Amino acid sequence: MKRLVHKKVLMVLIEIKRIIMYKKAKDLGFTHPKVVNYSQELDVLLNKYSS
């Protein structure tokens, strides 16, 4: 049960991070350092979710 809740929390965090990243990319471009940072943070969350 605890693992299922953890996965659901991670999924919400992933979706929030993804939305923020795309909004920043739209404004700043995909190669802007802030967007790259969001992408890296998203990668970490996705790795946690898949493990």
Supply the pTM of this predicted model.
0.86
Note whether 14 and 49 are within 8 A (CB): yes
> Residue ranges of the chain with pLDDT lower than 50?
none
Residue 10: inside a domain: no
Note whether 43 and 21 are within 8 A (CB): no
C-alpha span between 49 and 51 (Å, rounded) = 6
How many structural domains compose the chain? 1
Residue 3: inside a domain: no
C-alpha span between 20 and 14 (Å, rounded) = 10
Residue 49: inside a domain: yes
Residue 44: inside a domain: yes
DSSP state of 4: H
Residue 14: inside a domain: no
State the residue range of the domain holding 48: 19-51
Residue 2: inside a domain: no
